[in-house]
Structure 1
Amino acid sequence: MQTVTVDARQIREAVTMREAIDAVRGGFVDLAAGEFEMPTRTVLRDGRFLVMSAHHRATASAAIKTVSLNFDRVPAIAGTVVWTEMGRADTLVADAATVTSLRTGAAVGVATDLLAPAGAGRLTLIGAGGQALDQVRAVHAVRPLRELTVVTTAPPRAEALAEHLAPELPGVRIRTTTDAGSAVGDAEIVCCATNATSPLFPERALPARVHVNAIGAFRPTMRELPDELLADSAVVIDEREAILEESGEILHALGTGAITESDLTELGSALTAPNPPRAERTVFKTVGIAMQDWAVTRLLAEKFLP
């Protein structure tokens, strides 16, 4: 029996964003087909510790992630993802912070590819924390960017992020601002990656046609999006049970009557439907599910296990 440990650098060198997007897309399709055994994640200390697990029936493989979250430290996410297979005793242990950022970006890439207008190239990113880089990379992989606006209340962080991204985005105009309302006004795609507890912008600030990804709020007490936006959009989610347990903006909108559960479409179902959701405004809301960790860690297992 051998245990292979994979660190952040090795993950980045081994898995491209395009590979991660393809893997996560396949995972969502399999999820819709009932190929996963995936309990709702265990939440301890009001979301400070999370345990997530997924078993893929077809391959008799599983991934279990255990993390702690602390937004006052760097990195905010710390922990491991453990990969096991029924057919062999070798296991893989991967850095959870890197897997989480990569798989969250990949899910946004899948949703953006399905829902954003063809040719959309103006992205507004709200938040410049640990998830920000992979949000931009994922969108750029499926909708090559012309313009990027980074919004944060901490200008030095936005400027550092812009400087880091510049070599990866040649020819892309990058600017920073602290005003989310004005920044989303001409966006074609918006990514929200914050730990906000109230909406980041009013619905009226958005253009008539836009795709919005919201990844930051993962507890019922957190919200990034206003009810009015959800009511005015085709809303696609990662997984219904997880969303109804944890998504603050969805729970709030359901509570006010802005939307009903029938307004929610799971991404896996949208990917396999003959007619994917179409609307002037689309929203992808994810709280993160264990299948995504499984999908990326499977790529690592294929590359690193003997």
Structure 2
Amino acid sequence: MLVLDEEQTRAALPWPELIEAIAAMFAGECVMPVRHHHDMDVPGEESATLLLMPAWVPGLYAGVKAVSVFPGNVRRSLPAISGTYLLSSGATGEMLAVIDGGELTARRTAAASALAARYLARPDAEEMLVCGTGRLSLNLMLAHGTTRPIKRYRIWGRSEQAAQKIAAEARAFGLDAEATADREAAARTADIISCATLSGEPLISGEWLKPGTHLDLVGAFKPSMRESDDEAIRRASVHVDTRAGATSEAGDIVQPLKSGVLRLSDIKSELAELVSGAHGGRSHDEEITLFKSVGAALEDLAGAILAYETVAGRK
């Protein structure tokens, strides 16, 4: 049985291959039950969340991810997200691999956003704003840079010091990146805006979005959380990773549905429909697009299989 730590998991999941693996899984026959979602009290601070996410491809592979999200970890200089992925044979049930769940989650989440941007962002997108300074921030920059010719990156965070740190890490990868304290000004010029936060209130106003902007909402995975306002929903063509997940868990979708700002019929597509060609994605250069993801277990399974087959020498 393979055991892959954080560094080994990262090395086994290069961006181009991971993006293609997720696309293939969305186009395939993966079985994905509704995930378990449990709130856990943490005395003296924000509640934590336990997620259990199973998926399998009949006869081939089966897996489950156990992930915990502790928002209070930001004050302890610890990652908010941690977890473990268990990959088994779909033919015998034999345990094949134990994979670092935090790194798998960060990379597959960013890869899914980049996959969506392949269909929804302008082909000539050159400037990106990232809101958030957690583990996902650098991953989002690197993943989006795989599918679009991005030349300039800006990072905004509630902590200027944290934003400066992420910008320095991005520059170490050769990216033209800088921290910004002016979220609105950066949003007004960005071609792609990615938000990966646990915000309880909107960070991006629809009024700031220039024609052609692609808004990528990755955080705010509870109905009470939100990263965009109603005007962003009104102005944008709305797409989601899965309708079932986004309409039950994502505040950026659940709240507008509840208030009537958004109707179910207004959701143009889910990621599987973009991958299959059932929906054509962006229709013109001036269109504002919005992609909301809450995460899908098949993305984890795709990444886990890729990591296992890469390390085990099966590819």
Say whether 1:115 aligns with 2:115: no
Say whether 1:19 aligns with 2:24: no
Q: Which whole-Å CA distance do the structure 2 matches of 1:286 and 1:63 have between them?
A: 20
Deviation of residue 87 (structure 1)? 3.2
Deviation of residue 275 (structure 1)? 5.0
- Residues 205-220 of structure 1 aligned to structure 2 (within 5 Å): 205-220=208-223
CA contact (8 A) 1:91 1:305 kept: no
Identity %: 30
Name 2:225's counterpart in structure 1. 222
- Residues 46-57 of structure 1 aligned to structure 2 (within 5 Å): 48-57=49-58
CA contact (8 A) 2:65 2:85 kept: yes
Deviation of residue 304 (structure 1)? 3.0
> Which stretches of structure 1, 4 residues or longer, exceed 4 Å deviation after superposition?
none
Name 2:80's counterpart in structure 1. 76
Matched residue SS, 1:184: helix
Name 1:158's counterpart in structure 2. 163
Aligned length: 297
Name 2:298's counterpart in structure 1. 291
Matched residue SS, 1:251: helix
Q: TM-score, normalised by structure 1?
A: 0.93
CA contact (8 A) 1:105 1:134 kept: yes
Q: Which whole-Å CA distance do the structure 1 matches of 2:211 and 2:32 have between them?
A: 37
Q: Which whole-Å CA distance do the structure 1 matches of 2:196 and 2:23 have between them?
A: 21
Matched residue SS, 1:284: strand
Structure 1 residues 52 and 190: CA distance shift in structure 2, 3 A: same
Say whether 1:39 aligns with 2:33: yes
Deviation of residue 90 (structure 1)? 4.2
What is the Cα-based RMSD across aligned positions, in Å?
1.5
Structure 2 segments unaligned to the other structure (5+ residues) = 41-47
Superposed CA offset, 1:235-265 (max 9, x none): 1111111112101110111112112111211
Amino acid at match of 1:28: F
Q: Which whole-Å CA distance do the structure 2 matches of 1:205 and 1:70 have between them?
A: 31
Q: Which whole-Å CA distance do the structure 1 matches of 2:22 and 2:148 have between them?
A: 17
Structure 1 segments unaligned to the other structure (5+ residues) = none
- Answer with 214-223 or 67-76: which moved more: 67-76
Amino acid at match of 2:50: F
Deviation of residue 36 (structure 1)? 2.2
CA contact (8 A) 2:191 2:213 kept: yes
- Residues 136-215 of structure 1 aligned to structure 2 (within 5 Å): 136-170=141-175, 172=176, 174-215=177-218
Deviation of residue 12 (structure 1)? 1.6
1:235 aligned residue (238, 256, 264) = 238
- Residues 64-103 of structure 1 aligned to structure 2 (within 5 Å): 64-73=64-73, 74-88=78-92, 89-103=94-108
